[in-house]
Amino acid sequence: MKIIFLVNVFLAVLALPMVAFAAGDAHGSAIAVVFLMIAVVLIAAKLSSLVERFGQPSVLGELVMGVVLGNLALIGITIFEPIKENSIIQFLAELGVVILLFQVGLESNIQKMRKVGIRAFAVAIIGVIVPFVLGTYVAGPLLLPGQSMIAYMFLGAALTATSVGITARVFKDLGKLQLPAAQTVLGAAVIDDVLGLVILAVISAMATLGAVSLGVISWIIAKAVLFLIGAIVIGQLSAPYIGKFFSKIHNGVSMKFSLAFGFCLIFAYAANQIGLAPIVGAFAAGLILDPVHFKSFKDQAIVDDVRNSIKDAPDSELKQKISYNIKTHAHRHIEELMEPVAHFLVPIFFIMVGMGVKLETLFNGKILLVALAVTLIAFVGKIIAGVAAEKGSRWLVGWGMVPRGEVGLIFASIGLSLGVISDSIFSIIVIMVILTTLVVPSILASILKKQKVQVV
Amino acid sequence: MKIIFLVNVFLAVLALPMVAFAAGDAHGSAIAVVFLMIAVVLIAAKLSSLVERFGQPSVLGELVMGVVLGNLALIGITIFEPIKENSIIQFLAELGVVILLFQVGLESNIQKMRKVGIRAFAVAIIGVIVPFVLGTYVAGPLLLPGQSMIAYMFLGAALTATSVGITARVFKDLGKLQLPAAQTVLGAAVIDDVLGLVILAVISAMATLGAVSLGVISWIIAKAVLFLIGAIVIGQLSAPYIGKFFSKIHNGVSMKFSLAFGFCLIFAYAANQIGLAPIVGAFAAGLILDPVHFKSFKDQAIVDDVRNSIKDAPDSELKQKISYNIKTHAHRHIEELMEPVAHFLVPIFFIMVGMGVKLETLFNGKILLVALAVTLIAFVGKIIAGVAAEKGSRWLVGWGMVPRGEVGLIFASIGLSLGVISDSIFSIIVIMVILTTLVVPSILASILKKQKVQVV
């Protein structure tokens, strides 16, 4: 120890005129500050997993931790404020939700999705129409008289899109992604993400242009059809060949990881290019990639390891059995390889969603009351959609559709930036998003515990 | 399949008016483009691992692939140019090298480092003094007459710092990090990173201020001593307790991952704050964290899995042995958890280093000649430093110290931005960096193969 200490002391003695220099090295410092921000977010997220002790899904802990960190400025603690504005942290959060949906896609099964397809579609349609109509024609004119029709439509639109990320995390945290109800909710959430974006596009066009030409819309629709069919068909047909081709270059796990992750990112990009949310592409990529693809890659280290541990076993049949068993595991699943990357990035997303919540909007009594009424509509509109689900899981599906999360916030901020909605409608939407997001995880968890739903 | 297709077609039909909207959503699109860039870089990196077929370390493939992608603009292909300038990709590259050095630190052993401590220090000192003197007093005045002394000193300084990242990758790719020679090179590279930065700070101060007060320097040195001693002592003493504390909140692998990664990032940040390179902090964090820390975390899934696979084995002694064996493995090492994150980020760093290389600087005959002479000095200066290593590995250590990589480039760009060095000296430094970086990996690999060096 002594020598290394002395060396270190010596190094330190020599090293430090650096600080004077570092002041001029703004780029390096800016990057290092982001390192610290990531560390703070990760450790805060892990501290918040204490909620699991109380049977709550850890995503709730992360959201609440985010709300706390994001609002400490109210009591004068402003050190966490720069995290909210940092563009690299924002990027990592976006990448986090893309990876989460990729994981959810990987765990979802295209066969099971097909089974729930019609039901999911029905749930999505009802879950979009009911809140939109209630928001636009009931809540808006009754609770906020004197504003423009387009403002009411923005309010209605903000009520439509379920935040698939939050619901997916709850099901994932509790190990229930394989439930048919979970598949229905995820399918429906993806569908109404799409429907919500369509509504938003139409309303935005109405607010800015007045009208949109039918020819333009048709052309865009044609492109989209080609894209989605193309992505699924080409993806399913080509994945095994791509796997085989790259395995000839290198058949280690790092190749498998890079291919799968690259696939996910390209789909996310492609979805964005045709105007869908990147998460829709990531989910599709996960759905297409199957454990059977990329089977040529293995983790030789695990194989060797286990072979060594059983090499002097007396019973050769058992030996073979274990050897075979573990060899299968050596084909590490893509899910397993994605997991540490998800540990890194997914909590950043949920902490950031929580940090985006502005508690001071809760301080105005009148707005708060209207917001509570709008939130009620948000709950009712989605819970009603649950009737389209199969018997026995209606309640679960309905509640699963409730969280609006970041999608509602995006709608609100676009409405505000177009000058179409007022600050008060903005605050109302934000409160609705907070409440739907914060309340649902624990309700879903308790429904899942009470209801012994059958796992297929 | 039919139904899911129909649903998808329907979705697509509805979804696509989005494009019109997406055009206004510059933020979302910018993020999606980065997704594509990451996918391109990862897949390019994996294509380049073809070099392993020819016995070359994959880092060489990544560097060459980077040089190719970064210079396709010379033949009119400019689609990869935006990757070079993207600040998020630059951040991910920086994070990649931090993770690489953290991994190297984890694989290095503080006891072994102590053994090589004095030798590493001697190698570092010689490897800094010889190239600096040769560059400043020989190469500069002889080859580039008529320039200022400070310009020659910048040239000399750019020759000092070994790029620990490149050498570490070569040893890691070839599985030779445990060699005493590898530990000597890594220790020396870290030390001369520090020495190089000191030289740079002093020269920068001379170029801008003329002189620096001894009092200021002393205060900075004092802070540094306290920091380095503090980091190592507090780190070593506190890690087990931190591990115990967090394991009471949650004892899963995600907690282990977040703690270790958070530790790495905080050290990287702290190193940057006192003026050291973040990679020095990351390396120190890896050195301090030991497999014995955080031992309370386990991967229950693996334990259950193996228990099931042996539950009907007849021989109970063997059963116990295997059970114990795999249980130990279930305490997944931090190294293992960091690996997928490294698969994601480390190649981005090396592709980016390659992309930073400007091949057009090679087109000027005179500059090219001088550059070759300076490169020779760069090689000789470091190979001489090998004499301080133990007998039998002098050649290996000497060559291991040669790559200058990004550190030399940083020096050159600072000299240029201060207006102290000319464009031609800049080009010469860039060429020297290219050659030392590109040539060494394959030479090291061939030395390691010929020389059967003893593994401790």
Nearest beta carbon to residue A341 from set B249, B276, B340: B340
- Helix A164-173 vs helix A278-288: angle between axes, to the nearest 10 degrees? 40
Answer yes or no: are the C-beta atoms of B142 and B388 closer than 8 Å. Answer: no
Cα A173 from Cα A445, distance rounded (Å): 9
pLDDT score for B319: 58
Answer yes or no: are the C-beta atoms of A65 and A351 closer than 8 Å. Answer: yes
pLDDT score for B313: 55
Nearest-CA distance A139 → chain B (Å):
26
Do A418 and A305 share a structural domain? no
Nearest beta carbon to residue B12 from set A49, A224, A326: A224
B16, pLDDT greater than 50: no
Cα B220 from Cα B413, distance rounded (Å): 25
Nearest-CA distance B32 → chain A (Å):
5
B-chain CB neighbours of A91 within 8 Å are: 31, 34, 88
DSSP code string of B237-285: HHHHHHHHHHHHH--SHHHHHHHHHHHHHHHHHHHHHTTS-HHHHHHHH
Asked if A7's CB is within 8 angstroms of B198's CB, the reply is no
A-chain CB neighbours of B340 within 8 Å are: 257, 337-341
Q: Which residue of A has its CA nearest to B121?
A: A7
Residues in CB range of B175: below 8 A, 6 or more apart = none
Residues in CB range of B248: below 8 A, 6 or more apart = none
B-chain CB neighbours of A306 within 8 Å are: 326
A253, pLDDT greater than 80: no
Nearest beta carbon to residue B31 from set A34, A94, A340: A94
Nearest beta carbon to residue A114 from set B4, B39, B117: B4
Scanning B356-389, the segments in alpha helix (DSSP H) are 365-385
Q: Which of these three, A278, A306, A330, is where a domain ends? A: A330
Query: Within a domain: residue B353?
Result: yes
Out of A161-165, A344-348, B191-195, B205-209, give the one with best mean pLDDT. Answer: A344-348
Do A313 and A243 share a structural domain? no
Asked if B227's CB is within 8 angstroms of A17's CB, the reply is no
Q: At A309, which helix (H) or strand (E)?
A: helix A300-309
Query: Within a domain: residue B38?
Result: no
Do A312 and A215 share a structural domain? no
Answer yes or no: are the C-beta atoms of B436 and B402 closer than 8 Å. Answer: yes
Asked if B32's CB is within 8 angstroms of A272's CB, the reply is yes
Query: How much is the mean pLDDT over chain A?
Result: 75
Q: What percent of chain A has pLDDT over 90?
A: 8
Nearest beta carbon to residue A114 from set B1, B254, B275: B1
Nearest-CA distance A381 → chain B (Å):
21
> For testing the chain B interface, which of A10, A13, A33, A35 should be mutated: the one with the most B CBs within 10 Å?
A35
Asked if B275's CB is within 8 angstroms of A347's CB, the reply is no
Do A270 and A122 share a structural domain? yes
pLDDT score for A14: 29
Asked if B221's CB is within 8 angstroms of A17's CB, the reply is yes
Cα B224 from Cα B329, distance rounded (Å): 39
Query: Within a domain: residue B417?
Result: yes
Nearest beta carbon to residue A16 from set B46, B204, B224: B224
Chain-centre distance for alpha carbon A158:
18
- Domain tally, chain A: 2
Is B34 or A142 the better-scoring residue by pLDDT?
B34
pLDDT score for A27: 46
Cα A446 from Cα A424, distance rounded (Å): 34
pLDDT band at residue A92 using 50, 70 and 90 as cut-offs = very high
Chain-centre distance for alpha carbon B72:
25
> For testing the chain B interface, which of A11, A49, A407 should be mutated: the one with the most B CBs within 10 Å?
A11
Nearest-CA distance B16 → chain A (Å):
5
Helix and strand numbers, DSSP H then E, in chain B: 21, 0
Query: Within a domain: residue A385?
Result: yes
Asked if B258's CB is within 8 angstroms of A45's CB, the reply is yes
Q: How many CA atoms lie within 13 A of A11 on its CB side?
A: 31
Do A201 and A312 share a structural domain? no
Among residues B199, B195, B158, which one has the least CA distance to residue B377? B158
> For testing the chain B interface, which of A1, A5, A18 should be mutated: the one with the most B CBs within 10 Å?
A18
Size of interface A-B (CB pairs under 8 A): 364
Q: Which residue of A has its CA nearest to B225?
A: A12
∠ CA A436-A437-A441, rounded to 5°: 105
Asked if A326's CB is within 8 angstroms of B310's CB, the reply is no
Nearest-CA distance A310 → chain B (Å):
7
B-chain CB neighbours of A266 within 8 Å are: 35-36, 39
In angstroms, the first-to-last Cα distance of chain A is 58
A154-204: pLDDT as tens digits = 888 888 878 777 788 788 877 777 778 888 888 888 777 667 766 766 676
Query: Within a domain: residue B342?
Result: yes
Q: What are phi and psi of A250, to 5 degrees?
A: -165, 135
Asked if A340's CB is within 8 angstroms of B224's CB, the reply is no
Query: Within a domain: residue B131?
Result: yes
Residues in CB range of B217: below 8 A, 6 or more apart = A16, A17
Nearest-CA distance A368 → chain B (Å):
30
A293-325: pLDDT as tens digits = 555 455 555 555 555 555 555 555 555 555 555
Residues in CB range of B133: below 8 A, 6 or more apart = B156
Q: What is the CA radius of gyration of chain A?
A: 25
Do A156 and A245 share a structural domain? yes
Among residues B193, B173, B296, which one has the least CA distance to residue B243? B296
A255-298: pLDDT as tens digits = 888 888 998 999 889 888 876 677 778 878 887 886 555 554 55
Q: Taking residues A102-112, report their average pLDDT.
A: 73
Do A281 and A306 share a structural domain? no
Chain-centre distance for alpha carbon B332:
24
Is B405 or B166 the better-scoring residue by pLDDT?
B166
A4, pLDDT greater than 50: no
CATH of residue A177: 1.20.1530.20
pLDDT band at residue B192 using 50, 70 and 90 as cut-offs = confident
Asked if B326's CB is within 8 angstroms of A322's CB, the reply is no
Asked if B305's CB is within 8 angstroms of A113's CB, the reply is no
A41, pLDDT greater than 90: yes
Do A291 and A216 share a structural domain? yes
Instruction: Give how far Cα A416 sits from Cα of A178, A204, A424, Å.
Output: 39, 11, 10
DSSP secondary structure code for residue A276 in this structure? S
Query: Within a domain: residue B67?
Result: no
Answer yes or no: are the C-beta atoms of B172 and B197 closer than 8 Å. Answer: no
Nearest beta carbon to residue B114 from set A4, A118, A259: A4
Asked if A18's CB is within 8 angstroms of B198's CB, the reply is yes
Do A216 and A266 share a structural domain? yes
Q: Which residue of A has its CA nearest to B263?
A: A39
B-chain CB neighbours of A113 within 8 Å are: 4
Which residues constitute the domain of residue A313?
298-330
Is B317 or A382 the better-scoring residue by pLDDT?
A382
Asked if A249's CB is within 8 angstroms of B17's CB, the reply is no
pLDDT band at residue A450 using 50, 70 and 90 as cut-offs = confident
Cα B26 from Cα B31, distance rounded (Å): 9
Model pTM greater than 0.80? no
pLDDT score for B22: 35
Query: Within a domain: residue A76?
Result: no
pLDDT score for A310: 56
Do A380 and A260 share a structural domain? yes
Do A279 and A159 share a structural domain? yes
A-chain CB neighbours of B98 within 8 Å are: 35
Of A234-248, A422-436, B2-16, B310-324, the one with minimum mean pLDDT is B2-16
Q: What are phi and psi of B16, to 5 degrees?
A: -80, -15
Among residues A95, A96, A209, which one has the least CA distance to residue B24? A209
Nearest-CA distance B329 → chain A (Å):
10
Nearest-CA distance B96 → chain A (Å):
12
B330, pLDDT greater than 60: no
Q: Taking residues B209-231, report their average pLDDT.
A: 64
Do A320 and A229 share a structural domain? no
Tokens of B315: 């021989």
Answer yes or no: are the C-beta atoms of B369 and B350 closer than 8 Å. Answer: no
